[in-house]
Amino acid sequence: MAHTAGCNGAGRLCRYCGHDLTVNEQAVKMRYCQGDLERAFKWVQNSEDWKAEIDAYISLDRRDIPLLKNAVAHFTATRATVKILDRRLGEASVYRVTAKGYRAGPAGDR
């Protein structure tokens, strides 16, 4: 994934794009920059309701799984389950990603 706007600052580096985390990202002990988390969450979020349960089929490189799991946790306060469905050597594999989603999680609308 290419560097995105918002990945600038000083100190710790984003574990995904390698650029400096902002002072605010460092203050809340983020491992990834906000821009990368937003992009990864869009891979799996419900396009009509971001707070809804997540049940997505996605093709991605296994190296992107930690970012994806962190993105789901960041936006929903729930844990993502990632199961491989189709392993492809040398290219992206197909995964099913599920999570309770923001609304059903501990931070959800009540």
For the cut 60, the answer to whether the pLDDT of residue 9 exceeds it is no
What are the residues whose beta carbons fall under 8 Å from the beta carbon of 54, sequence distance 6 or more? Answer: 44, 45, 46, 72, 76, 80, 97, 98, 99, 100, 101
Tell me what percent of the chain is helix, strand and coil, each rounded to the nearest 5: 30, 20, 50
The answer to whether position 78 is within a domain reads yes
Q: How far apart are CA 67 and CA 72, in angstroms?
A: 9
The answer to whether position 89 is within a domain reads yes
Mean pLDDT over the full length of the chain: 88
The answer to whether position 8 is within a domain reads no
Each residue's pLDDT tens digit, 16-69 = 889 898 888 887 788 899 999 999 999 999 999 999 999 999 999 999 999 999
Can you give the pLDDT at residue 110?
Answer: 65
Q: How far apart are CA 50 and CA 31, in angstroms?
A: 22
The answer to whether position 37 is within a domain reads yes
Q: How far apart are CA 57 and CA 44, in angstroms?
A: 8
The answer to whether position 65 is within a domain reads yes
Count of structural domains within the chain: 1
Show the domain range for 64: 23-99
